[in-house]
Amino acid sequence: MGSSETFSALMLRERDGKVSAAMEEVPAADLPDGDVTVAVEYSTLNYKDGMILKGLGRLVRSYPHVPGIDFAGTVESSDSADFKPGDRVVLNGWMVGESRWGGYGAKARVKSGWLVKLPDNINSKRAMAVGTAGYTAMLAVMALEDHGLTPDKEGDVLVTGAAGGVGSVAVAILASLGYRVAASTGRDSEHDYLTDLGASSIVPRAELEETPKGPLTSERWAGAIDNVCGPVLANLLTSIRRHGSCAAVGLAAKPTWDGNIIPFLLRGVNLLGIDSGFCPIERRVTAWNRLSKELPLAKLDTMTRVVPLAEAPDLAGEILAGRVRGRTVIEVPS
Ligand SMILES: NC(=O)c1ccc[n+]([C@@H]2O[C@H](COP(=O)([O-])OP(=O)(O)OC[C@H]3O[C@@H](n4cnc5c(N)ncnc54)[C@H](OP(=O)(O)O)[C@@H]3O)[C@@H](O)[C@H]2O)c1
């Protein structure tokens, strides 16, 4: 790489406690340490990207900063025996885009141990249509299965925050695996969208926000994937069927819930934490291979829109307000 080489990136700068974003030409020599350099083609807008673009949650401690918690692209150069130029790769998490520069630039340099080779049938754009949200949805499904969920269990599988990124992919995967999916959304406008993704019923968010009548209510859900926490999580835990599980993925409503231990003690309910960021590499490879086979690509396409990198900052407030539907792919200029 020549010393004068530059690449286009969306750079975050902080001034007087305010974070601003602008497209810049960045010297390639400024890339962080790592043994693989990737020509990034696509990144995505995840909920966490929204927080980072707005300078929230103290996720980024040092500026100037290139955000983007995931990316897909092609290996440009590698000092690792595991990757060679031309390999198509995907990265999710590992604090990339938070404590290190991320995928909102035409080049990224990372550790080889963080990269997953893309399955042949997923191109870079579709990999980012899946993105961290979709890969996390797959991890949540895998966790529920590890704890005994099968499509023949009585009851529907509930997905909360269903019209968001994790929720949309979770609905599509579960439906294609043969589960009956109850999709919970706060948006009346998204009912048809969720039914088209495979939901067999819609649960208005307000219904799940009600305070349950006791620590146990009638057994309803075979399992659940919760993206919102708060009163919705408190409510759904009271109606998970005996020995069923809830995968705790997100906090779109709030990070706390007013919980009761009784469902865990008297029904053997499991609350399963999902951590996509530091998930071991073998499980990532399994998740991506399963996504390549079990997520119907036509459904993935219907939940996806593609926007240029320069427009990402305008969408940050939208995703934080829960107004983005499905997945947003960010096209990174070469
Ligand atoms: N554990 C992990 O490793 C991991 C990985 C990825 C994401 N996450 C977290 O998972 C959550 C979902 O991520 P995402 O990318 O799917 O975000 P997203 O696209 O913004 O979707 C979140 C959805 O939650 C619902 N929602 C928004 N505000 C709400 C509120 N105040 N109360 C109740 N529901 C609300 C909305 O769905 P409806 O309109 O359909 O109700 C919204 O579309 C986020 O909290 C994110 O940080 C965690």
Contact present, 186 and 322 (Cβ < 8 Å): yes
Q: Write the pLDDT tens digit of every residue in 4-55.
A: 799 999 999 999 989 999 999 999 999 999 999 999 999 999 999 999 999 9
Q: Write the pLDDT tens digit of every residue in 148-172.
A: 999 999 999 999 999 999 999 999 9
> From the alpha carbon of 320, which atom of ligand 1 is closest?
20
- For the Cβ of 322 lying below 6 angstroms from any atom of ligand 1, the answer is yes
> From the alpha carbon of 205, which atom of ligand 1 is closest?
41
- Mean pLDDT of the region 239-259: 96
- Closest residue by Cα to atom 21, ligand 1, is 164
- For the Cβ of 48 lying below 6 angstroms from any atom of ligand 1, the answer is yes
- For the Cβ of 328 lying below 6 angstroms from any atom of ligand 1, the answer is no
Contact present, 99 and 106 (Cβ < 8 Å): no
How far away, in angstroms, is 36 Cα from ligand 1 center?
32
**Confidence tier at 1 by pLDDT (50, 70, 90):** low
How far away, in angstroms, is 255 Cα from ligand 1 center?
11
- Mean pLDDT of the region 89-114: 97
The DSSP result for 139-191, as a single string, is HHHHHHHHTT--TTSSSEEEESSTTSHHHHHHHHHHHHTT--EEEEES-GGGH
Closest CA to 234 of 255, 208, 253, 252: 208
pLDDT for position 334: 87
From 130, 158, 181, 227, the mutation candidate for ligand 1 (largest count of ligand atoms within 8 A of CB) is 227
* Tokens linked to 118: 């893309």
- Alpha helices (H) in the chain, listed in sequence order: 47-53, 124-146, 165-176, 191-197, 205-209, 230-237, 262-266, 281-294, 297-302, 312-320
- For the Cβ of 139 lying below 6 angstroms from any atom of ligand 1, the answer is no
Which residues face 15 on adjacent strands?
18
- Closest residue by Cα to atom 24, ligand 1, is 161
> From the alpha carbon of 166, which atom of ligand 1 is closest?
16
How far away, in angstroms, is 321 Cα from ligand 1 center?
10
pLDDT for position 4: 75
Of residues 81 and 1, more confidence is placed in: 81
- Closest residue by Cα to atom 33, ligand 1, is 253
- For the Cβ of 109 lying below 6 angstroms from any atom of ligand 1, the answer is no
> From the alpha carbon of 326, which atom of ligand 1 is closest?
19
> Quick count: other Cβ atoms within 10 Å of Cβ 238?
23
> From the alpha carbon of 50, which atom of ligand 1 is closest?
20
Name the residue type at position 313.
P
Closest CA to 31 of 82, 93, 133, 107: 107
Tokens 């020549």 sit at which residue?
2
Contact present, 67 and 132 (Cβ < 8 Å): no
Which domains are present in the chain? Answer: 6-118+303-331 (3.90.180.10), 132-273 (3.40.50.720)
CA distances from 327 to 104, 249, 323 (A): 16, 16, 12
Separation of alpha carbons 323 and 239, rounded Å: 28
How far away, in angstroms, is 210 Cα from ligand 1 center?
19
